[in-house]
Amino acid sequence: MRNFKNLILIVIALFLVGCGSKGEKMSDDDFSKYEKQAQAAISLINERKTVEFIDLTEKSLGFKKEILEEAYKNLENYGKFVEFGKSKGIYEEEKDKGETYFTILQKVKYDKKDALFRVSFNKDNKIIGIFFK
C-alpha cells in the first residue's frame, strides 16, 4: 500500500506541472495520436499486461510491477471494461523547464462504475503519468 501511495504522490507531482499553468486545448492531429496511445495504455492496464505497459513509460520514473499490481486491485472495484467514452486532450507546460506535456482525459465505462483516466506523455511519446478515479 505504501508503494501505491508513493506512486500517487509522484503522479500528482507530475500533474501539477508548473504553478498555475493552464492546459491549452490540443490540436486535432495531436489529439487523434495521443487519444489512441492513451486508450492503448489503458487497455494494457485492463488486460493486466504489466511488462507491455511499463515499456510505454518514461524509464527514469521507475514504474514498477508492484505499483501496477496495487493499481490493478483498485481497478477491480470498477468491474469489467465495457467501452471508452468521451475524451479530451490538452497541452500542459512545465514553465520551469519549458517542456510541454500531452495529456488525455479519457472516460472509461466499466460494468460497476465509470472511471476517468488522465494519461500524460512527454515529447518522446513516453507515459510520464497515469491516474484514474
| Extents of the domains making up the chain | 2-132
Q: What residue type is 128 in one-letter code?
A: I
Mean pLDDT across the chain, nearest whole number? 85
Q: Is the pLDDT of residue 70 over 70?
A: yes
Per-residue confidence (pLDDT) for residue 62, from 0 to 100: 81
User: What is the SS3 assignment for 96?
Assistant: coil
Per-residue confidence (pLDDT) for residue 14, from 0 to 100: 43
- Residues comprising the chain, all counted: 133
101-129, pLDDT tens digit by residue? 999 999 999 999 999 999 999 999 999 99
Q: What residue type is 35 in one-letter code?
A: E
Per-residue confidence (pLDDT) for residue 114, from 0 to 100: 97
Query: CATH 3.10.450.590: does it fit domain 2-132?
Result: yes
Contact 96, 44 (CB under 8 A): no
Q: Is the pLDDT of residue 12 over 70?
A: no
pLDDT category of residue 82 using cuts at 50, 70 and 90: very high
Q: How many CB atoms lie within 10 A of CB 18?
A: 15
Contact 105, 87 (CB under 8 A): yes
pTM of the predicted protein model: 0.81
